Amino acid sequence: MNINGKDYRAIWLSADQVTVEIIDQRYLPFDFVVEPLRNVNEMAIAIKDMHLRGAPCIGVAAGFGVYLAALEAQKKEDWQSFLNQAKDLLLSTRPTAINLHWAINRCFSAIEECHSINEVIKITKKTAQNIADEEVATCAQIGQYGLQIIKELAQKGSAPLNILTHCNAGAMATVDHGTATAPIYAAFEQGINLHVWVDETRPRNQGKITAWEMEQNNIPYTIIPDNTGGYLMMKQKVDMVIVGTDRVAANGDVANKIGTYLKALAAHDNNIPFYVALPSSTYDPQLPEGVHSIPIEERSTQEVLFIEGKDQNNQLKSLQLFSNQAKAANYAFDVTPARLITGFITEKGIFKPEELKEKLK
Ligand code: MRU
């Protein structure tokens, strides 16, 4: 992604080959901070506390986390137990995004036959880098498939084409290009007249990252409070919805940021196409259905009770929104049933829920 004239990924292996660097998303859009991560513990904290976030990016981070663990294991007497502890630590960071499990399992399968820690280091490094590169290529391909849908809708309707998105399923959530945003970037590059409604996405306000990405790409956008989508859809000010996802069950049920389900209901009621963009790494064929089976992360209620922003002195501040006695709940994700989804935009094509099992295996 182009940031102030320089090409960046959300996460990369630094030139020293033993440090992983990430764009620390806690400071966006105000400050551009690169955080170096030097061991598996730092990586686990970065994932859990959302210095980085978004399912594919979490997967890539987990892959690099295994590599960092391998580097540390070199100095341990029992390197195998150290690696197993590192695996458990990484797996415990965030429960909903299946990419975390997928990437960790891929790294550990790759080292199954290794007899020395040096071999493990070599293979985990290569596997983590491959995962990152593949996710970037996958997202670019999602962009090309999604572009076809946008083109068709743009030909039918009046300009600009209004696309609504929830949370951030952009370059910051996926290493580069994004999933939900890749078709938007591809369409904008082709000169299609479009405008993006960006859901604020309380409580963590990932909409600010989407808005920042739109700015970097000169794409017209408007931030809206989370409750606005239904009204806009009724007034025919939304032509399509595209969201990302953290896990898709075998039957096409979709876990995504809390509030996605309400957008899908409103889109269904107003006959507006509702698309989910995902790489294969987000598909979980082991779960027959998602509504009852996908684990939903519950995060600290502090994220609801306080809000972060900059004050007039340009200082980042956290402000209390409710009384000291206030109780809150903070479910980070919800599950949208497959019946509400028009189609899945993947790197292998555009599919209906019932086609996923066959096409993404
Ligand atoms: O809690 P987050 O910010 O990690 O949640 C991110 C989302 O829900 C995204 O929409 C999803 O991971 C898709 S990212 C391509």
Residues with C-beta less than 6 Å from any ligand 1 atom: 53-56, 97, 167, 169, 173-174, 179, 206, 244-246, 256-257, 332
Please report the pLDDT score of residue 16 as a whole number: 98
| Class (C level, CATH) for 2-135 | mainly alpha
Q: Indicate the fold that domain 148-359 takes in CATH.
A: Rossmann fold (3.40.50)
Could you tell which of 48, 94, 168, 346 is best to mutate to test the pocket of ligand 1, judged by most ligand atoms within 8 Å of the CB? 168
Please report the pLDDT score of residue 4 as a whole number: 86
Closest atom of ligand 1 to 58 CA is 4
Q: Where in the chain is the domain with CATH 3.40.50.10470?
A: 148-359
- Provide the residue-wise pLDDT of the chain in tens; the chain has 361 residues: 999 889 999 999 999 999 999 999 999 999 999 999 999 999 999 999 999 999 999 999 999 999 999 999 999 999 999 999 999 999 999 999 999 999 999 999 999 999 999 999 999 999 999 999 999 999 999 999 999 999 999 999 889 999 999 999 999 999 999 999 999 999 999 999 999 999 999 999 999 999 999 999 999 999 999 999 999 999 999 999 999 999 999 999 999 999 999 999 999 999 999 999 999 999 999 999 999 999 999 999 999 999 999 999 999 999 999 999 999 999 999 999 999 999 999 999 999 999 999 999 7
User: Which residue's C-alpha comes closest to atom 15 of ligand 1?
Assistant: 169
* Cα 25 to the center of its chain, rounded Å: 12
pTM confidence score: 0.97
Q: Where in the chain is the domain with CATH 1.20.120.420?
A: 2-135
- Residue 246 a catalytic site member: yes
242 in Cβ contact with 211 (< 8 Å): no
Please report the pLDDT score of residue 265 as a whole number: 98
CA distance 170 to 106: 24
Closest atom of ligand 1 to 204 CA is 3
Q: Which member of 226, 246, 253, 334 is catalytic? A: 246
* Cα 54 to the center of its chain, rounded Å: 2
CA distance 311 to 299: 25
Could you tell which of 47, 48, 53 is best to mutate to test the pocket of ligand 1, judged by most ligand atoms within 8 Å of the CB? 53
